[in-house]
Amino acid sequence: AQKVTQAQTEISVVEKEDVTLDCVYETRDTTYYLFWYKQPPSGELVFLIRRNSFDEQNEISGRYSWNFQKSTSSFNFTITASQVVDSAVYFCALSEQHTGGFKTIFGAGTRLFVKA
Amino acid sequence: DSGVTQTPKHLITATGQRVTLRCSPRSGDLSVYWYQQSLDQGLQFLIQYYNGEERAKGNILERFSAQQFPDLHSELNLSSLELGDSALYFCASSVPVATALNTGELFFGEGSRLTVL
């Protein structure tokens, strides 16, 4: 069964600090996809990054970077030099392909406060 | 703009009533998903349709139903509403099969905020 755990409920940082959001997942599939989504105070959900199960290469995209480790079933997300506009709820998600689409479940979310 | 359109954006109704939420997926996406987000809660998967057929069911109450029409838009029907049904209801769409460029990320509409009084 799928499961996504975001142990951090809330994180508060001061602007320009780096912050890492943790995500641990469970799945029986060998092929799966991991995502991070952002939900700012306005409420919409915005796709940020994705990683395929067969590609453990970690990447950096601007101020965002992620650390995918299959051995520990973790997919952590780091924001470098945080800004006030990064304040939002961040959701980690796990997706598995099935006929006609994807079964995607979300973690409970981590609320990030970035103070000026 | 994700390309997914949801209406209405806000809806206030009374207990016992029935409402319909509408969703138009991104152009070309055949898969539509419905999620419920209650206050300070995560996203709960309700149901998924692919090209008009139901493909997956999550924690959807029997009072709720959905369908996807031939033009691919989808409707979520909520009946006998209770106070606890107050939530943000999201629709999302995706490609049906993972490709090198798109591995199933969901594109969400802005949500329909339902308030049951």
Secondary structure (DSSP) of A13-81 = EETT--EEE--EEE-S-SS-EEEEEEE-TT---EEEEEEETT----EEETTEEEEEEGGGTEEEEEESS
Put simply, whether A107 touches B (Cβ < 8 Å) is: yes
**Cβ separation of A101 and B56 shorter than 8 Å?**
yes
Question: Which residues are registered as beta bridge partners of A33?
Answer: A52, A95
CA distance A17 to chain B (A): 26
Nearest of B77, B48, B6 to residue A105 by alpha carbon: B48
Phi first, then psi, for residue A107 (nearest 5°) are -75, 175
Nearest of B81, B83, B66 to residue B32 by alpha carbon: B66
Q: Is the pLDDT of residue B24 over 90?
A: yes
> pLDDT class for B41, splitting at 50, 70, 90?
confident
Q: What pLDDT, on the 0 to 100 scale, is given for residue B115?
A: 97
B37 and B58 in contact (C-beta within 8 Å)?
no
Q: Is the pLDDT of residue A89 over 80?
A: yes
Q: Is the pLDDT of residue A99 over 80?
A: no
> pLDDT class for B28, splitting at 50, 70, 90?
confident
